[in-house]
Structure 1
């Protein structure tokens, strides 16, 4: 099941308030301004600044903070 489009339309980066882009595999929401990805777990976006993964780490396969 895909994320709800209406939800995606209202979500913004909690840090800078920029728009977010859904990653191709729907595993995360990318903020281009902050260069981070907010993970999506069990179809629920985790919109906590402390849970954001830097984009370069995300592209290396990191999906959770240690």
Structure 2
């Protein structure tokens, strides 16, 4: 799964407007400021605050909100 670098350059965290970084296995975008990960599903970043997953949960393997 590869996101276009131009898209990555313009995306910002919808909550704090901070920078986002791809997580290790490239299935999420992490905001260090908010400690949230926005999942990437079917090559589309889900940039909804309600769908974001806390980093600590993401690190435990959680990939979807319940």
Question: TM-score normalised to the size of structure 2?
Answer: 0.97
Paired positions, count: 66
Are residue 2 (structure 1) and residue 2 (structure 2) matched? yes
Equivalent in the alignment of 1:61: 61
Q: Secondary structure at the residue paired with 2:37?
A: strand
Question: Where does structure 1 differ by over 6 angstroms across 4 or more consecutive aligned residues?
Answer: none
- Give the deviation of 1:16 after TM superposition: 0.2
Question: TM-score normalised to the size of structure 1?
Answer: 0.97
Aligned-residue RMSD, C-alpha: 0.6
Unaligned stretches of 5+ residues in structure 2: none
Equivalent in the alignment of 2:33: 33
Q: Secondary structure at the residue paired with 2:24?
A: coil
Q: Secondary structure at the residue paired with 1:64?
A: coil
Are residue 14 (structure 1) and residue 5 (structure 2) matched? no
